[in-house]
């Protein structure tokens, strides 16, 4: 997150695109990392809360918020609109925080 924020702030388009692409790919992989019944937080020492499996729909909605804002940041970077990219970066960061507060031990 820090790399993305700093690269948007300094208007380093290549670094920012690289950083936001990581978040886009991550958001696409994330739900599959917690298949129903895996109880990853118990079985593999993950920081994931067991609440993920109790409210997987909410977990997926929060992840979609993260993904959508990451895609918006990418679009704005493509257009060279760093102010809009920064505004949506903060929305993206809040979506991460919301998910971590709900689903991370």
CA distance 59 to 50: 11
pLDDT score at 57: 93
Residue 41 has pLDDT above 60, yes or no: no
Domain boundaries, the chain: 2-39+49-103
Mean pLDDT of 11-35: 95
Mean pLDDT score of the chain, rounded to an integer? Answer: 92
The pair of three-digit structure tokens given for residue 73, joined into one six-digit string: 């940041």
The residue among 1, 6, 17, 19 whose CA lies nearest residue 80 is 17
For residues 73 and 39, the model is more confident at 73
Residue 10 half-sphere exposure toward CB, CA atoms < 13 A: 11
Q: Write out pLDDT tens, residues 54-103.
A: 899 999 999 999 999 999 999 999 999 999 999 999 999 999 999 999 99
The pair of three-digit structure tokens given for residue 45, joined into one six-digit string: 């020492």
- pTM of the shown model: 0.89
- As its CATH architecture, domain 2-39+49-103 has Up-down Bundle (1.20)
């Amino acid at each position: 997150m820090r790399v993305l924020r700093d690269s948007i702030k300094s208007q380093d388009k290549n670094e920012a695109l690289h950083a936001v692409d990581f978040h886009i790919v991550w958001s696409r992989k994330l739900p599959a990392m917690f298949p129903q019944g895996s109880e990853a937080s118990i079985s593999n020492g993950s920081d994931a809360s067991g609440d993920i499996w109790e409210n997987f729909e909410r977990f997926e909605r929060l992840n979609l918020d993260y993904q959508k804002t990451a895609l918006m940041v990418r679009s704005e970077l493509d257009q060279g609109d760093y102010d809009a990219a920064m505004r949506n970066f903060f929305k993206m960061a809040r979506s991460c925080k919301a998910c971590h507060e709900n689903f991370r031990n």
